[in-house]
């Protein structure tokens, strides 16, 4: 992917039948639930930190896409990962950037390749190689989000978890100066400069 991206983007540029700027975006989903993650933390001596924990089988999913050159992050919270939710997400991203031609890089999840998925006219999907989450910079955004907003926290209900998730996603959407450095990987930036 690292070596082929400039060639693939040039080919897509030629094949596209509409005009407009090209927006390269990477997309991924993440599961958030009421299972708390305990992490080291600091407290003054002689005290010991108390980190509550909970294990509960309730989940929601965050769908996210980032435009690497600008660091602009877009997200939605949806109840599951399936073709219908992916369709909702793609339609939303398409409507947020109606004048752009969007090249959305996704992984090989079944709902990304479903025949019933209707790709918006201003968008093309490009698939990452199998078993290569290390090529998707959105994975690092999820890590940032979990570290800053969810470690050492317990949520009394799914509503409180979703409220925290909305707050953290909005923080990242409103501050591309946070997400930009996280996703500005040299091989992606170099592919766009060619």
Q: Enumerate domains of the chain plus CATH numbers.
A: 5-193 (3.30.420.10)
- Reported as a single tens digit per residue, the pLDDT across 151-166 is 777 788 889 989 999 9
Residue 187: which residues within 8 A CB-CB, separation 6 or more? 2, 5
CA–CA separation, 74 and 96 (whole Å) = 9
- Reported as a single tens digit per residue, the pLDDT across 52-110 is 555 667 789 999 999 998 999 999 999 999 999 999 999 999 999 998 999 999 998 88
Predicted structure pTM score: 0.84
Q: Which has the minimum average pLDDT: 17-26, 56-65, 182-191?
A: 17-26
For 138-141, which contacts have Cβ atoms below 8 Å and span 24 or more sequence positions? 138/26, 138/27, 138/28, 138/64, 138/65, 138/66, 138/183, 139/28, 140/182, 140/183, 141/64, 141/66, 141/73, 141/172, 141/179, 141/182, 141/183
What is the greatest pairwise CA distance in the chain? Answer: 68
pLDDT at 40 (0 to 100):
64
């Amino acid at each position: 992917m690292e070596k082929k991206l400039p060639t693939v983007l040039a080919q897509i540029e030629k094949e596209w039948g509409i005009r407009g700027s090209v927006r390269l975006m990477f997309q991924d989903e993440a599961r958030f639930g009421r299972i708390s993650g305990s992490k080291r933390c600091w407290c003054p001596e002689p005290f010991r930190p108390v980190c509550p924990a909970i294990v509960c089988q309730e989940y929601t999913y965050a769908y996210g896409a980032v435009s690497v050159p600008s660091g602009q992050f877009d997200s939605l919270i949806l109840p599951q990962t399936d073709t219908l939710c992916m369709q909702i997400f793609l339609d939303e991203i398409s409507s947020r950037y109606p004048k752009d031609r969007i090249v959305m890089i996704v992984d090989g999840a079944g709902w990304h390749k479903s025949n019933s998925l209707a790709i918006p006219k201003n968008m093309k999907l490009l698939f990452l190689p199998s078993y290569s989450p290390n090529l998707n910079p959105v994975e690092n955004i999820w890590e940032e989000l979990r570290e800053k907003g969810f470690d050492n926290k317990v949520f009394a209900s799914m509503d409180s978890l979703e409220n925290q998730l909305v707050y953290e996603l909005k923080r990242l959407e409103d501050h591309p100066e946070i997400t930009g450095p996280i996703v500005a990987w040299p091989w992606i930036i170099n592919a766009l400069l060619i």
